[in-house]
Amino acid sequence: MIIVYLDTSDYARLYRTDAEESIRRIYDFLIGLVEERKICIPISYLTLFELLQDYSPEYLSDRRLRAKCLSKLSRSYGVPFLSDLLEGDRSVIVGGWAPKEVDKEFSVKILVAQIRERIVREAPLPRAVRRRLGNSSQFRRVIKENPEHLFMKKGDLNGLPVPDTFIEGQYLRRYLLGEIGSEVADRELKKIITDPVSFFEFWFEWYNRPNPLTTILQKPAATMKAQLDLARDRLAELEREAAKMRVTRKELKSAIQRVRTLERETGIPSMLKNYDVPPVPEVSSIMDDQRLEQCLISLPTEIRPYAKIYLLGLLRGRSFQNSDLGDLIHATYLPVCDLWRGDRTFSNLLMANRAPHHDRIVGSLAELPARISRLLDGSFTMQV
């Protein structure tokens, strides 16, 4: 399958029911290829929270539409969480966007233990039966003999709302009856919980938790902004030094060449022996400045090439924004994908500077169907 990574702005256009016709055609084209398993459109932790965002009650239906769009396009597939990616994980799997460290939360054994405790505590059963249910070694046997004793509640998994689809699929009952193993049950549980629709339900609606991106990105973004400000000061200083030169570098080089020509023609030695044109600082040299270099060193190795290119562009451009760090993180998924969509300004910088895997960058959403079709040997084209 072709791995296609979409920018958050793409989802923000594709999910809308009132989207223009050209966008609806792109959406239908992508959905068709996803259903035929020709392409995979994984989401990232960053994409999920950038799109869902915090919201006030009047925007609840809008956020549900966003989650539904993510779910249909991704089919719950995800690229690795950033820390897992930086540790060498390149897999694109169901629920992959969630940090590996939370995998232990998606455990049917934990779910069984918590349900067993609740049933023993709440179920109107004879004491002898409750005693047997309270024994973990006998719990499965009792349920096999009396399956009516097993009932689930919405918040049975560490307080998380177990999705209706997991309950309706009877995965827990099938596990207790020995029809499926814990590995299969865990995988199904993770798949259902990390589906964007289910995740939106328990993160925002059930727990009313805030969007974590603000906290996660705030400190590193502040560090990068401070280093960028120092680099801008250094650039201004070098430009002032360059302005003190009464001639341009080109003019100075031309003058030196004329004197050396005269020296050869007349045989008269000049004072320019071993003299060369002094270098005039360029913007790129700022990246070797110790203060900004420290900013790059503090970043993971995989991010540095993209960060250097982006910061070079920002030195001459607009002021640094917290979202810029998010753009850098999105770029770290370039090596994982066959086609990649990102922020337009950043994408142009990456392509112009021939960043690693720059040939995978798709300049606009409108270009995406044609690029996909080329990778599929032209066998799939979008209907117009």
For residue range 38-51, list pLDDT tens digits in order: 999 999 999 999 99
What Å distances lie between residue 15 and 267, 316, 339, CA to CA?
78, 35, 20
What's the pLDDT score for residue 77?
92
Question: Which residue segment(s) compose the domain that 183 sits in?
Answer: 104-193
Same domain, 315 and 248: yes
If asked whether residues 241 and 305 sit together in one domain, one would say yes
Read off the pLDDT of each residue in 20-41 and give the average, rounded to a whole number: 95
Residue 13 reports pLDDT greater than 80? yes
Q: Which of 152-156, 208-212, 306-310 is predicted most confidently?
A: 208-212
User: For the chain, how many structural domains are there in total?
Assistant: 3
Q: Which of 296, 171, 185 is nearest to 230 (CA)?
A: 296
Question: How many CA atoms within 13 Å lie on the side-chain side of 79?
Answer: 30
Q: Do 134 and 33 belong to one domain?
A: no
Same domain? 23 vs 9 = yes
Greater confidence (191 vs 229) lies with: 191
Whether residue 188 is found in the same domain as residue 258: no
Band the pLDDT of 154: cuts 50, 70, 90. low
User: What pLDDT shows up at residue 281?
Assistant: 46
pLDDT tens, position by position, 341-366? 998 888 988 898 888 899 999 999 99
The mean per-residue pLDDT over the stretch 280-307 comes to 59
Distance CA 76, CA 278 (A): 58
Stretch among 41-45, 133-137, 287-291 having the lowest mean pLDDT: 287-291
pLDDT of residue 283: 47
Q: What is the mean pLDDT of residues 56-72?
A: 92
| Mean pLDDT score across all residues of the chain | 79
Whether 90 and 200 share a structural domain: yes
* Contact criterion met (CB below 8 Å) for 25 and 33: no
pLDDT band at 261 (very low <50, low <70, confident <90, very high): confident
Q: Which residue is associated with the tokens 């409750």?
A: 130
Which amino acid does the sequence have at 287?
A: M
CA 133 to chain CA centroid, Å, is 44
Percent of the chain with pLDDT over 90: 26
- 313 and 202 in one domain? no
332 and 358 belong to one structural domain? no
Phi and psi at residue 316, in whole multiples of 5°?
A: -100, -5
- b/e for 314-342, b at 16 or more Cβ within 10 A? bbeeeebeeebbbbbbbbbbbebbbbbbb
Domain identity same for 199 and 348:
yes
Work out the angle between the directed axes of helices 322-331 and 344-352 (0-180°, nearest 10): 50
Give the pLDDT confidence score for residue 242 in this predicted structure. Answer: 64
Residue 384 has pLDDT above 70, yes or no: no
**Pair (86, 167) in one structural domain:** no
Average pLDDT value for residue range 277-302: 55
Residues 135, 283, single domain; the answer is no
Q: Are residues 229 and 367 in the same domain?
A: no
Lowest mean pLDDT among 66-75, 152-161, 295-304: 152-161
Report pLDDT digits (tens) over 75-95.
Answer: 989 999 888 888 888 889 888
Q: Considering only residues 17 and 252, tell me which one the structure prediction assigns the higher pLDDT.
A: 17
